[in-house]
Structure 1
Amino acid sequence: MKKVLFASTALIATASVAAAEVSFSGYGRFGIGYVEDRSGAVTNINTSAGVVTSTGTAVVDTDDAILVSRFRLNIDGSTETDGGVEFSARVRLQADENSANGEANSAGLNGARFSVIYGGLRVDAGNVAGSFDNLANYYGNEVGLELFAGQYSGVDYDFLAYSSTGSGSNAVFFQYAVGDFAFGASYDQATLGLNGSAADADRWDISATYTFNNITAAIAYGQTDLGDFGLNDPSLTVLTLGAEFGDFSGTLFVADDATEITATDGTAWGLSAAYNLGAATTLLFTYGDGNADADLQQVAIGAIYDLGGGASLRGGIGVNDCDICADSTTQADFGAYFNF
Structure 2
Amino acid sequence: MKKVLFASTALIATAGVAAAEVNFSGYGRFGIGYVEDRSETTIVRGPGADGLNGTADDVLARSTAQTDDVILVSRFRLNIDGIAETDGGVRFEGRVRLQADEDASNGEANSAGLNGARFSVIYGGLRVDAGNVAGSFDNLANYYGNEVGLELFAGQYSGVDYNFLAYSSTGSGANAVFFQYSVGDFSFGASYDQAQATVIGAGGTTSTTVDADRWDISATYTFNNITAAVAYGQTDAGVAGVSDPSLTVLTLGGEWGDFSGTLFVADDATQVASTDGTAWGLSAAYNLGAATTLLFTYGDGNASADTQQVAIGAIYDLGGGASLRGGIGRNDCDSCASDTIVADFGAQFNF
How far 1:228 sits from its partner (Å)?
4.0
**Structure 2 residue ranges without an equivalent (≥5):** 1-5, 45-59, 202-206
Checking the alignment, whether the CA contact within 8 Å between 1:90 and 1:114 is kept in structure 2 is: yes
1:134 to 125, 135, 139: 139
Measure the CA separation in 1 of the matches of 2:10 and 2:68: 50
How far 1:197 sits from its partner (Å)?
1.3
Measure the CA separation in 2 of the matches of 1:317 and 1:292: 24
What does the per-residue CA deviation read over 1:8-37, in whole Å, with 9 as the maximum and x for residues that have no partner?
4422233xx341100100000000000000
Structure 1 residues 261, 141: CA separation in 2 closer, same or farther (over 3 Å shift)? same
Corresponding position of 1:30: 30
What does the per-residue CA deviation read over 1:26-63, in whole Å, with 9 as the maximum and x for residues that have no partner?
0000000000000013599xxxxxxxxxx977320000
What does the per-residue CA deviation read over 1:272-321, in whole Å, with 9 as the maximum and x for residues that have no partner?
00000001000000000000000000000000000000000000000000
Checking the alignment, whether the CA contact within 8 Å between 1:6 and 1:21 is kept in structure 2 is: no
Checking the alignment, whether the CA contact within 8 Å between 1:5 and 1:21 is kept in structure 2 is: no
Corresponding position of 1:220: 231
Percent identity (aligned): 80
Corresponding position of 1:52: none
Does residue 179 of the first structure (1) align with residue 184 of the second (2)?
A: yes
**TM-score (normalised: structure 2):** 0.90
1:70 to 57, 75, 80: 75
1:294 to 305, 309, 312: 305
Does residue 12 of the first structure (1) align with residue 14 of the second (2)?
A: yes
SS of structure 2 residue aligned to 1:10:
helix
Does residue 92 of the first structure (1) align with residue 92 of the second (2)?
A: no
Checking the alignment, whether the CA contact within 8 Å between 2:196 and 2:211 is kept in structure 1 is: yes
The structure with the largest strand share of the pair is 1
Checking the alignment, whether the CA contact within 8 Å between 2:10 and 2:21 is kept in structure 1 is: no
2:250 to 239, 246, 250: 239
Structure 1 residues 11, 240: CA separation in 2 closer, same or farther (over 3 Å shift)? same
Checking the alignment, whether the CA contact within 8 Å between 2:211 and 2:238 is kept in structure 1 is: no
Task: Give, as a single letter, the amino acid of the residue that structure 2 aligns with 1:200.
Answer: D
Task: Give, as a single letter, the amino acid of the residue that structure 1 aligns with 2:33.
Answer: G
Corresponding position of 1:256: 267
Structure 1 residues 209, 64: CA separation in 2 closer, same or farther (over 3 Å shift)? same
1:83 to 80, 85, 88: 88
Checking the alignment, whether the CA contact within 8 Å between 2:233 and 2:248 is kept in structure 1 is: yes
What does the per-residue CA deviation read over 1:254-287, in whole Å, with 9 as the maximum and x for residues that have no partner?
0000000000000000000000000100000000
**TM-score (normalised: structure 1):** 0.93
Measure the CA separation in 2 of the matches of 1:56 and 1:267: 36
Does residue 164 of the first structure (1) align with residue 166 of the second (2)?
A: no
Task: Give, as a single letter, the amino acid of the residue that structure 1 aligns with 2:289.
Answer: G
SS of structure 2 residue aligned to 1:272:
strand
Measure the CA separation in 2 of the matches of 1:147 and 1:309: 21
Measure the CA separation in 1 of the matches of 2:171 and 2:9: 30
Checking the alignment, whether the CA contact within 8 Å between 1:248 and 1:276 is kept in structure 2 is: yes
Task: Give, as a single letter, the amino acid of the residue that structure 2 aligns with 1:115.
Answer: S
Cα RMSD between the aligned structures? 1.6
**Structure 1 residue ranges without an equivalent (≥5):** 45-54
1:114 to 98, 116, 119: 119
Checking the alignment, whether the CA contact within 8 Å between 1:7 and 1:21 is kept in structure 2 is: no
Does residue 268 of the first structure (1) align with residue 268 of the second (2)?
A: no
2:217 to 206, 211, 225: 206
Does residue 281 of the first structure (1) align with residue 299 of the second (2)?
A: no
